[in-house]
Amino acid sequence: MTKLMIYGATGYTGRMTAEHARAAGTPLVLAGRSKDTLSGLAAELGVEHRVFGLSDNGEIDEGLADISALLNCAGPFLRTAEPLMRAAIRNRVHYLDTAAELDSYRLSEALDDEAKAAGTMLMPGGGGSVAMLGILAGYAVGKVSDPRKIEIALRVAGGLSRGSAISAVENVTTETLARVDGKLVGVPADGIRKFDFGRGEVDCFPVTLPDLITIWRATGVPDVETFVQVTGWISAGRSVPASRRAERRGPSCKPIPGGHRGHQRGRSCDTRASRHGQRIHLHGDGRGRGRPARIERRISSRLPCAGSAVRQRFRADDRQHHDY
């Protein structure tokens, strides 16, 4: 029987994913390190669960017995992606995760030959902004001829879950990167740019997103730049103050609003109200001959596949994606 394992099932994203998978009738196994919380969720959903950490390869391999696909929802992925990807290859189990961190994508590229030899799929970033931005990039590129450059800006209004906040703080890179002539190169971290998400221009700062890998591979456009603007983190007319930059990661890092210590203590926006209040706005600019494309779309993080929602929106009414 084909079985899906969700590792990190008791976290914010993992629990929602498990609930959706169970409702869809997917043969499901929940996994993670916390026996008490895991057994409670498994009992609630009426599914199997397995408890194992990631420090021992033998223990991981035993945990993956009779599993067909592994979905890793346990961030920070800086700690979890490599042991689970390598285990997936050893055990010929397809691997997916919900990472938005560059290292997971670089790792999957490095392991690509091994994965192909094992007949194993590695798919980091199986949900969230990476899927949405990829769809937007394809739409923007389709509006111009001979596309040479894509600029993508992401605006998030609302809070971050505890896990996402910790992941963001621990995984920001000390180097700000862009794709130039098909290669990842360092760029100035203070290159604030203005983008219009439909309600006037706001300041966005360059940030190293995995879309530098995924969009380049999907479109073949040689130059890709990624920007972000978070409500309350950076606002129109001012850049990130030096006093709020991450101390141990270098001057190019941008801290999470309020810092990460509160999230480490358990403060979280993992509430029904925050999920419905979160807004994600996307701006895609395909440079070549033609006009750039823009989309503004409210996305609820309760959706099991945000990328699917964006794709359906494109198909339903192309006129809603304002060309200018």
Domains of the chain: 4-123 (3.40.50.720), 129-320 (3.30.360)
Nearest to 5 by CA among 77, 76, 107, 87: 87
With cut-offs at 50, 70 and 90, classify the pLDDT of residue 265: very low
For 5, the 3-state DSSP assignment is: strand
Maximum average pLDDT range among 19-28, 134-143, 292-301, 314-323: 19-28
pLDDT above 50 for 219 = yes
Which residues, at least 6 apart from 275, have a Cβ–Cβ distance to it below 8 Å? 300, 301, 302
With cut-offs at 50, 70 and 90, classify the pLDDT of residue 200: confident
pLDDT above 60 for 57 = yes
pLDDT given at position 142: 79
Helices (H), the chain: 12-23, 35-45, 57-63, 77-90, 102-110, 112-118, 129-142, 162-171, 211-219, 261-264, 272-277, 306-316
pLDDT given at position 235: 36
pLDDT given at position 189: 85
Taking a C-beta distance cutoff of 8 angstroms, is the pair 60, 67 a contact? no
pLDDT given at position 294: 53
- How are the residues of the chain apportioned to helix, strand and coil, as percentages rounded to the nearest 5? 35, 25, 40
Least confident of 70-84, 123-137, 172-186: 123-137
Mean local confidence (pLDDT), 253-280: 40
pLDDT given at position 147: 83
pLDDT above 50 for 248 = no
Mean of per-residue pLDDT scores for the chain? 75
With cut-offs at 50, 70 and 90, classify the pLDDT of residue 286: low
Nearest to 298 by CA among 309, 290, 288: 309
With cut-offs at 50, 70 and 90, classify the pLDDT of residue 303: very low
Least confident of 65-69, 97-101, 245-249: 245-249
With cut-offs at 50, 70 and 90, classify the pLDDT of residue 161: low
Structure tokens at 20: 């959706």
- Please state, in angstroms and as integers, the Cα–Cα distance from residue 95 to each residue in 136, 181, 221, following that order: 25, 30, 27
Nearest to 218 by CA among 316, 102, 322, 133: 133
Taking a C-beta distance cutoff of 8 angstroms, is the pair 6, 73 a contact? yes
More confident residue, 12 or 83: 83
pLDDT given at position 155: 79
Instruction: Give the chain's radius of gyration (CA, Å).
Output: 20
Structure tokens at 87: 């285990």
